[in-house]
Chains A and B, each alone.
Chain A
Amino acid sequence: MLEISNLSKTYPGGDEALKGVSTTISGNEIVAMIGPSGAGKSTFVRCINRLTEPTSGTVTLDDIDITSLSKKELRTARRDIGMVFQEYNLIERLTVMENVLSGRLGYVSNLAAFRRKFPEDDVRQARQTLDRVGLLKHESDRVDELSGGQRQRVGIARAILQNPKIILADEPTSSLDPETSGNVLNLLTEIAVDEDIPVLINIHELDLALEYADRLIGLNSGEVVFRGPPSDFDESVEGTIYRGEEPGRVTDPNGQDTDTTTQVSTNIEK
């Protein structure tokens, strides 16, 4: 169970990206973090495994306070947090297999990493995972030969190989076409169920968030402005999240309608 309490981040320039965000993520739920560009979604996800150091607040994963760990302890804690990136962040010049096995780096020695000598169990699990994401026959291909969708599936396989307690996905579909985006989210949803772990997705495609998430967190200017299941999401909520409007202030239904459509389509285009 991931508990985040009062997480804040102020960048050195004085930009307050997060202003005391709290939430709890558990079970095998899919939580989608939505909000306009610059709302702090990425900062939030990156503060969880401290790729970005939060300014204040705590992140607790299964009773371990991640925010207070030393560098070495943090490395151990990071093994339990899988991460999927917008630009895939695969090691471009290495093979699919080497990339997937990099999810096990936290468990092997430096020498083993240098020699690419991973335990047989890891290799077996890597093959099984690759088969599951449909890339087993690409195991020896260099990842720079793959398509965007295939790369993201390698990225997901790498995260699964960590046997994590949670998967963080930072804009996993932003670099993909709509159909591939759907496949990637399907895969993440299946994994949540099969591995019985929660997935926190930070996403700006509203339609995808509504379709796949069990729960939404709406962020605007670093503050949570909405929490609830997709069924609670309506135009007034959308106004609150995306345009910072006070809840229930929708006065002109026609004007609002047009606005909403534009907003949604802009989000998809991005």
Chain B
Amino acid sequence: MTNSENNSVQPDGGTYSGVWSPPSIYYNKYTKWVIYSLIILFSIWSILDLQISLDRFITGLGAGSQLLSEMLPPAATSRQVDLIISGVIESFAMANVSTVVGILISIPVAFMASENLAPKPIYSFGRGVISISRAFHELVIAIIAVVALGFGPLAGVVALVFNTVGFYAKLLAEEIEDMDEGQVEAVRAAGASPTQVLIYGVIPQVIPRIVGLSVYRWDINIRKSTIVGIVGAGGIGITLLNAFNRYDYDFGITILLVIVAIVMIGESVSAFVRGRVS
């Protein structure tokens, strides 16, 4: 009692107010409710606009259970098994090639896109390359590459390399910008050339990140290499699309299970290696 009485009296004799509310990002509570109402109205409008009715949803569920029953159990003839094997090998090879080529392009781009290393014009160029690469989904690039280069894995590799650069160079550039300038300065103070400063002062600081990102990107590319085939850019994706187009649902589900398996293997290898690096 005494304690709270003491606390509630200000030095000048007044009392402290006990009312407190957490700070809000809204100007006041009316704004807050207006914004919430708008979000709800917008969602309702979207559903109406797409004409998703309960009936439509129930019909959809029926078709879904029909599909599921035709998918199970998974099955594949020996010719289909051969198709899966060659498709998976092609996807895997595409992932490996595009990871290696993508990284070889990404590392110089990352150095160019590091504000603390590159002069302003080069920095802008590096950031531009990254932005363009990140602006497009790999399927968009794959469609363009298929038209430009023809069907097959080459188009897929081009799409994945393009996509790798934006991801890898951006994250590596951020790591380079976060490095300890002191270490670089010490190398510079010993009279090292700019290249030696990179070799001795910068790369040792970012090498764990380079390894970690490479394995991570390899695992992402494995996943993506299974999908670019849908637009004709090589890999297991085209086999999957054909299976569905021919209503071969039990074969389709087999391919899906194989894709899940290789993606999981890729992810666990990547997680293991990244764990070892850090």
Contact = CB atoms under 8 A, between A and B. Distances in A.
Interface of A: 49, 51, 75-79, 81, 83, 85, 87, 89-94, 102-106, 110, 113-114, 155, 158, 162
B108 to A, nearest CB: 15
Nearest to A93: B204
B201 A91 contact: yes
Given A91-B187, A93-B204, A102-B200, A85 B182 contact: yes
B192 interface: yes
A91 B179 CA distance: 11
Contacts of B192: 75, 102, 105-106, 113
28 contacts: A51-B188, A78-B189, A78-B190, A79-B190, A79-B191, A83-B189, A85-B185, A89-B186, A90-B183, A90-B186, A91-B204, A92-B183, A92-B204, A93-B204, A93-B205, A102-B187, A102-B190, A102-B192, A103-B190, A105-B193, A105-B196, A110-B193, A113-B195, A113-B199, A113-B200, A114-B199, A158-B186, A158-B190
B219 to A, nearest CB: 24
Contacts of A90: 183, 186
Interface residues on B, range: 20 to 34
B174 interface: no
Given A92-B204, A113-B199, 17 more contacts: A49-B189, A51-B185, A75-B193, A89-B180, A89-B183, A90-B183, A91-B200, A91-B204, A91-B205, A92-B183, A93-B204, A102-B187, A102-B200, A105-B187, A106-B190, A110-B193, A113-B196
A110 B199 contact: yes
A85 B186 contact: yes
Contacts of B205: 91-93
Contacts of B200: 91, 94, 102, 105, 113
Interface in B162-206: 180, 182-183, 185-193, 195-196, 199-201, 204-205
A110 B180 contact: no
Q: At the interface, is chain B mostly helix, strand, loop or mixed?
A: helix
A87 B182 CA distance: 8
Contacts of A91: 183, 186-187, 200-201, 204-205
B207 interface: yes
A113 B186 CA distance: 15
B132 to A, nearest CB: 31
Nearest to B186: A89
A35 to B, nearest CB: 22
Contacts of B193: 75, 105, 110
Contacts, number: 79
> Which of B182, B189, B193: most chain A Cβ within 10 A?
B189
Nearest to A94: B204
A105 B191 contact: yes
Contact of A110 (B183, B191, B196, B208): B196
A85 to B, nearest CB: 6
B186 A110 contact: no
A91 B200 CA distance: 8
A99 to B, nearest CB: 9
B161 to A, nearest CB: 26
Nearest to B188: A51
Interface string B102-141: 0000000000000000000000000000000000000000
Contacts of A155: 186
Contacts of A106: 190-192
Nearest 10 pairs between A and B by C-beta?
Answer: A106-B191, A89-B186, A79-B191, A78-B191, A89-B182, A105-B192, A110-B195, A83-B189, A93-B204, A113-B196
A75 B204 contact: no
B189 A81 contact: yes
Contacts of A75: 191-193
> Which of A91, A155, A158: most chain B Cβ within 10 A?
A91
Contacts of B189: 49, 51, 78, 81, 83
Contacts of A104: 190
A89 B181 CA distance: 9
Contacts of B208: 93
A76 B208 CA distance: 32
Given A93-B205, A110-B199, A113-B196, A162 B191 contact: yes
A162 B193 CA distance: 15
A181 B185 CA distance: 23
A89 B207 CA distance: 18
A158 B195 CA distance: 19
Contacts of B187: 91, 102, 105
Contacts of B182: 85, 87, 89
Contact of B191 (A76, A85, A87, A114): A76
A102 B185 CA distance: 12
